[in-house]
Amino acid sequence: MGRLEDKVALVTGAASGIGAACALRFAEEGARVAGLDLQGPVDGAAWDAAVKAAPDAWFREAVDVRDEGQVREAVAAVRERFGRIDVLVNAAGVGGFSVAHLCEEEEWDRTVDINLKGSWLVTKHVLPAMLEQASGSVIHLASVEGIEGMGGSLAYNASKGGVVLMTKNMAIDYAKLGVRVNCLCPGLIDTPLTELLQGEELAAVRNRMLEWHAMGRAGKPEEVAACALFLASDDASFVTGHSLVVDGGWTAGRSATG
């Protein structure tokens, strides 16, 4: 029996990267999974395999987490199909590089709306199902940049810092109602979101970031998904309001000896 047997999980940003890894791992662990994204699965074969292993797994495209109407409709569809929602992973997100005096309003709004507002909106519409059940696990995707600052990353820092504090707020508000709320704070993870760092022009930036990880490497989406699985499962029954770093030692500090 899998660790999420008989559970229903809703994952946003499920088309690729960490979201896809969470959706696929949850399906392997026995969950019925609904994946939401603006695009179809990047790895269609992997999703098809998940559906074969868990026939109730399904994917719904064209859901913009910034649009409350689309979110409301999508969540209602999940509840209609499965009858309940036990786990929510808010993995939809975007990156961004800017400093305050050069940051365009459009970039600020897009980054904060997707990373922070989107996580709130989806949670808002999932919570009624969890409150009716008096049980549920909400997992937001934050970042190490939600814990410490990083130059040139204004809107992203602000959005992910907001996710960390939103997690604590929701944990307090819903703990006695049976709903746990936690967040994951990954370091540099090799996903489509970070592919731009693998080009020749930004190779020096990527190498510098890799040096900040005590393990000296980037993480894999599957490694973050394994931590999401823990928070989603009954193994984390006494864990709420926690920001779990999955960062290869980034936030542990820096070595003076190299």
Q: Does residue 174 carry a catalytic annotation? A: no
In this structure, the number of other CB atoms found within 10 A of the CB of residue 40 comes to 15
For residues 137 and 178, what is the distance between their CA atoms, to the nearest angstrom?
9
DSSP symbol at 9: E
122's CB contacts (< 8 A; 6+ apart) are: 10, 12, 36, 65, 71, 75, 88, 90, 92
DSSP helix/strand/coil, 160 = helix
Burial of 150 (0-12, 13-18, 19+ CB in 10 A): middle
CA distances for 123 relative to 71, 87, 96, 246, angstroms:
10, 10, 23, 22
Q: Are the beta carbons of 71 and 123 closer than 8 angstroms?
A: no
From 26, 156, 174, 250, active-site residue: 156
Residues annotated catalytic, as ranges: 156
